[in-house]
A and B are shown apart, each in its own frame.
Chain A
Amino acid sequence: MKKYLFNRILTLIPTLLIVATIGYLLIYMAPGDPAAVMLGEEADVTEVIRLRTEMGLDRPIYVQLGRWFARIARGDLGYSFFLQRTVTQAILDRLEVTMLLTAYSMIIAIILGVTIGIIAAVKHNTIVDQLMMGIALLGVSMPSFWLGINFILLFALGARWFPAAGYVDIADGLFMHIRSLTLPSLTLGFISAAPIARMTRSSMLQVLNQDYIRTARAKGLIEFSVIISHAFRNAMIPTITMVGMTVGSLISGAIVTETVFALPGVGRLVIQSIGRRDYPTVQGVLIFIAFIYVLVNLLVDILYLYLDPRVKYL
């Protein structure tokens, strides 16, 4: 187990290096000039050239890449001229919003997805099954910006239950904080619930046909106990895998959701930084997201051990 963990952690290094290099080259190759964006509409060409030099953008790509890797090795993600702070600080400033949004969305996605999946499996081939899978299909098909705008129309503008946009810190009151993140979390959670529901349904269907389920029923156990304690527990492994993969889609979904709801999170930081070609920030956030993604998948692998005693890592 320890050896496995050590090897997995070791594989993080080349993974992040590959992400960092490809990310750097992609953003570098994309046209666009951060100096011209920063100086504004009326800047003339000489001013732009001066600022490019000041930002170190006039140097050859291998020099810039080399310096960047040297900084990364020291744990320094660089400095953003736009944000007037280090990239690490910029990410930390926004981490609370994104982590909480992702966590709330994940809770909604799991509750919604698992419930829909179980009901659909238990009511297999009935109108309830079709209805549940219809809801899941709707979740997969709807773009998050469209769903978000509609939630705003319905629950902020119509019912006036929630604010249309913006974020309230936990420190400013838990109720207002939850209120500010409800609509974004519902948007993201509903969309992420769909794949979990579909995976839960299919794995539950496989398990429900097993002999031990028939045995459990023959023992006279109540149906709820059969489904939850016997069937669902064994159907959880693929669902957990899907939940782990959903973290990736939640982070990418947060990019759009944070923009729609004007939340100051890491996702919106990426969009803003790409728009103004804030190279250090884009690269820094890219590495950060890759790190989180790889880490969550490692945690999922470890979780298998506790869920299924048959799983052994050598």
Chain B
Amino acid sequence: MEKTRKFLIFALVLVMLSVLTIGIERVFAQEEPKFGGTLRVAVIGNPPTLDVMRTTASITLNTMWHIYENLFTHNAEYVPIPHLVSDYTISDDALVYTFQLREGVSFHNGKIMTSEDVVASIERFMRLATWGRNLAEVTESFEADGPQTVVLTLTEPVAIVPLFFTATAAGIMPKEVIEEAGEGDLKQFIGTGPFKFHSFEPDRHIIFRRFEDYAALPGEPDGYGGNKTAYIDELRYIPVPDTAVRIAGVQTGDYHFGEWIAPDEYERLRDIPGIETRIIQPSGWTTAVFNKQEGLMANKLMRQAILAGLDMEPIMRAAYGHPDFWRLDSGVLFLEQAMHSSAGSQYYNQNDPDRARELAQQAGYNGEPIRWVTTTEYPAYYNTALVSAYQLEQAGFNIDLQVVDWATVVQKRADPAEYDLFSTAFGIPWDPVLFLGFSPTWPGWYVSEEKDALVAALRRESDFDKRMEIWDELQYMFWDDVPMIKYGDYFLLHIHREEAKGYAGMATTFYWNVWIDN
């Protein structure tokens, strides 16, 4: 009897151990990345060009950065870290940066990256790209010093040099490719990234394939940097303009990922087995930009009046619906960023029609039409403008809402005689110095010597506390000058099938380190 009992206990323990072992194996098997397969990603449209230095269109940058890499990139906390640079030093006067390049980094055409390629790439970046021209303003020279060393000499100290080099437009490409392009667009798309460019068929797909000789950094992935591995054989971006079709395609398995999904679908999608929803927080903030060069809104009091009359909560609710996709915040930088500031927040979300009327009266406003150019191509732009117009009309303003397509918005906003406000949105402002809204040449034309002096001071200052002091002052000025209305922060919704693993869900989507667990 005792023997039978012992045997039964032994058998039971054996069975339990077997079950446990199988379970553990399965868990590990699920977490073990697998190589192979084609990852299909449904995106909203086609890139207007593939040349990352010639456009700021996010669809170009977010796809093409799979083939290019930068001297620096962002880690998981969105702090710049070296990537193609192995080490760098800064001179005592903070005017000379010496960068050591990683050795043995191969381009997709088999050529090994040298300082000549880096100089050619960064020079083109400084000639063509918005951030690059900003850097060029304070650059005396950018030269090779031996095959693996480049030296940047500045005309004045710049606190955010590594940040400039994180721009996708500052991707490193072979010198010969740049020379071949001349003053025109790139003819070949060659970088050092984990994927290499294969083909682009407009309206059909952009295909990238794994670069077998990729020089990966050792260690773990860290944000956009660290170790990058192309597990998938092929990355295929497929333009699918209709959001309902992107969703249906992910559900049926035609696509693994669907980007830019309407937040209205969130509640339904998160209950569907096999589909995972990812809220990308932060993504950007929605705005209406005043024409400060001429017309009614050249008067600061009028801009302050408009701002005073707005109640942001119903505006953001109308634009983004589900509360998980927006929040009210006055910061030009996001709450998640180290330099987030609340300066000037008393002017945000005032919802004070009486003050709006009073300020408009002081500005001499007599009911002239306020031309507001917006578009339904981006529903959030239209909805914010529509609700704002209603609120402002209640406060006595005469809003002439001009609803046109996006191509017309970008044409009209360049002509100061054509409008008083236009609707748009900003992505993540990585640093106040690089915030587009401070540019005196960008539509809306925020021209202010005082503002420029603070931006310049911020660019020079490297001590964090001192930078914050300057930034608080500058952000307060932003809310006092009201070059634009910040409505609130918005977050994007991406969806993917559960067999697509390893997705980081950071602000800019990437598919290295992603694998298909079939």
Give residues in A with beta carbon < 8 Å to B: 30-34, 36-48, 81-84, 90, 93-94, 149, 152-153, 156-157, 160, 163-167, 259-262, 264-265, 268-269, 272, 275-277
Contacts and interface: CB of A to CB of B under 8 A. Distances in A.
Contact of B55 (A39, A166, A272): A39
Interface string B413-447: 01000000000100000000000100101110000
26 contacts: A32-B405, A32-B407, A32-B408, A33-B414, A36-B407, A37-B48, A38-B54, A40-B48, A40-B58, A41-B56, A43-B55, A45-B414, A47-B130, A48-B414, A157-B251, A163-B254, A164-B248, A164-B249, A165-B242, A165-B245, A259-B241, A262-B42, A272-B46, A272-B203, A275-B377, A275-B405
A164 to B, nearest CB: 4
Contact of A260 (B46, B204, B242): B242
A37 B406 contact: yes
B458 interface: no
Interface in B306-344: none
B407 A34 contact: yes
A272 to B, nearest CB: 6
B25 interface: no
A40 B408 CA distance: 13
B64 interface: no
B137 interface: no
A260 B442 contact: no
B49 interface: yes
* Chain B: interface size category: 35 or more
Given A165-B248, A167-B204, A275-B405, A82 B49 contact: yes
Contacts of B202: 82-83, 90, 93, 264, 269, 272
B203 A264 contact: yes
A32 B411 contact: yes
Interface in B46-92: 46, 48-50, 54-58, 60
A272 B380 CA distance: 21
B412 interface: yes
The 7 A-B pairs of least Cβ separation, nearest first, read: A32-B407, A40-B56, A40-B57, A33-B411, A36-B410, A42-B56, A264-B203
A276 B405 CA distance: 9
Contacts of A272: 45-46, 202-203
Interface string B229-262: 0000000001111101100110110100000000
A167 B443 CA distance: 40
Contacts of A39: 54-57
B443 A45 contact: yes
B49 A84 contact: yes
Contact of B201 (A30, A43, A93): A93
Interface string B183-204: 0010000000000000001111
B264 to A, nearest CB: 15
Contacts of A160: 252
Nearest to A41: B56
Contact of A262 (B56, B242, B405): B242
Given A157-B248, A262-B245, A41 B424 contact: yes
A33 B240 CA distance: 24
Given A32-B408, A43-B130, A90-B202, 16 more contacts: A32-B405, A32-B411, A33-B410, A33-B411, A38-B55, A39-B57, A40-B55, A40-B56, A44-B442, A45-B442, A152-B248, A157-B252, A165-B42, A165-B245, A167-B204, A276-B407
A164 B414 contact: no
B404 interface: yes
Nearest to B442: A44
A80 to B, nearest CB: 9
Contacts of B377: 275
A34 B48 CA distance: 10
Contacts of A93: 201-202
Contact of B245 (A32, A84, A164, A275): A164
Contacts of A261: 245
Contacts of A277: 407
A93 B202 CA distance: 9
Contact of A40 (B60, B204, B238, B441): B60
A210 B241 CA distance: 53
A82 B56 CA distance: 14
A42 B252 contact: no
A83 B242 CA distance: 21
Contacts of B406: 37, 275
Contact of B408 (A31, A47, A90): A31
B125 to A, nearest CB: 14
Contacts of B251: 157, 164
A166 B203 CA distance: 10
A42 B130 contact: yes
A200 B301 CA distance: 69
Contacts of A41: 56-58, 424
Given A32-B408, A37-B406, A44-B130, A166 B414 contact: no
Contacts of B60: 40
Given A94-B203, A157-B251, A264-B204, A31 B404 contact: yes
A153 B254 CA distance: 14
B240 A165 contact: yes
Given A84-B185, A157-B248, A163-B254, A42 B436 contact: yes
Contacts of B50: 84
Contacts of A33: 407, 410-411, 414
Contacts of B407: 31-34, 36-37, 275-277
A94 B203 CA distance: 9
